[in-house]
Amino acid sequence: MQQELADQPSYRAQQVWEWAARGASSYAEMSNIPAALRERLEERVPFSTLTVVDEAHSRDGTIKTLFHTHDGRPVEAVLMTYRDGRRSICVSSQSGCPLTCSFCATGKMKFGRNLTASEILDQVLHFRRIGEVNHLVFMGMGEPLLNVDHVLDAARRLPDVGITHRRTTVSTVGWLPGIQRITDCGMPLRLAFSLHAPEDGLRSGIMPVNDRWPLEDVLAACRTHHEATNRAVFIEYVMLAGVNDGPDQALELARLLGPGFTFKVNLIPYNPTDSVYDGSSPEAIERFRAVLEEHGVRATVRLTRGRDIAAACGQLAATASA
Ligand code: SAH
């Protein structure tokens, strides 16, 4: 039987992919594939590498799906829809995360393993079956640049699903060798750097990975990325009350980044996790943003989505849904 599948002309695999990328939910729909072959595929090749275990719907329309891989590893992905027509998927690149950022729930769960390119794409296809999708962020569980080969393989296929490379963002803690891979990959992907503290001492305290790849080195790689691609690097900065949200720290961040178009800061309201932190007040966030802007650094505040179902940034930990 397997031999029969292997004997098929190679364009059949392309046909199956094209159907899946356009949202087909079964082999039965693939009308340009002979019925006997469709039946054989049905019997022999699981339609997805992931099984849906749970799905939670937020009041704001956000959907969070918990999947299991064939070996029982939990993986979460989120679909966010916006009034302006954006339909954005947040995908995981690993089951769990080996890094231990103190404010993030994913770092507290057990690290499983890197996901394959198929396991990354199957998160996307799941949401594509619900409707069209046009943006994607690698901001789910895991550190994408610790799994950069599979992340890039998956990214290569995204335009077939309707997501251009320009609308695809890879977010990293600053895993330096991986940043260079993104710069050199030949796809105009957006790079986002989770910076979170304007100096090494504080940053190492909340993100131990900083001891390995310190701020100045990572920012130098980000500047190189900007020069090579002419695209701004997004700086993510989670606002923790009394930790990193003071006006003096905003000034320090502005000095570190410098004015101009190389960087754009995205301030993230802290989403509650099982940690010691409190989120900054809206006033503190606004003050911080104003200091950045006064010093020529572009800054916006990220809209929080899916907090009621623990689907917001930093909350993915594969616990039971709300
Ligand atoms: N490992 C990558 C990809 C995950 S992206 C990275 O860190 O960039 C998830 C984003 O949410 C990161 O910027 C992360 O720092 C941020 N985050 C983590 N915990 C958070 C929390 N509790 N509230 C708000 N943002 C959080």
Structure confidence at residue 321 as a pLDDT band (50, 70, 90): very low
Whose alpha carbon is nearest atom 9 of ligand 1? 139
pTM score, two decimals? 0.96
At residue 117, the 3 state secondary structure works out as helix
In degrees rounded to 5, what are phi and psi of residue 155? -60, -35
User: What's CA 103's distance to the chain center, in Å?
Assistant: 17
274/277 Cα distance (integer angstroms): 9
pLDDT, the chain, mean: 96
49-309 adopts what CATH topology?
A: TIM Barrel (3.20.20)
In the chain, residues under CATH classification 3.20.20.70 are 49-309
Q: Is 313 in the pocket of ligand 1 (CB under 6 A)?
A: yes
Contact 163, 135 (CB under 8 A): yes
The residue whose CB lies within 8 Å of the most ligand 1 atoms, and thus the one to mutate among 104, 109, 240, is: 104
Q: Are strands 74-81 and 87-90 parallel, antiparallel or unpaired?
A: antiparallel
What mean pLDDT comes out for the span 144-157? 98
Classify the C-alpha dihedral 288-140-147-155 as positive or negative: negative
Q: DSSP code of 188?
A: -
Task: Quote the pLDDT of residue 322.
Answer: 39
236 Cβ below 6 A of ligand 1: yes
Cβ neighbours of residue 201 closer than 8 Å, sequence gap 6 or more = none
Instruction: Return the best residue to mutate from 171, 190, 316 for the ligand 1 pocket (most ligand atoms within 8 A of CB).
Output: 171
Token pair in block for residue 42: 């049905």
- DSSP code for 263: E
pLDDT tens track for 211-251: 999 999 999 999 999 999 999 999 999 999 999 999 999 99
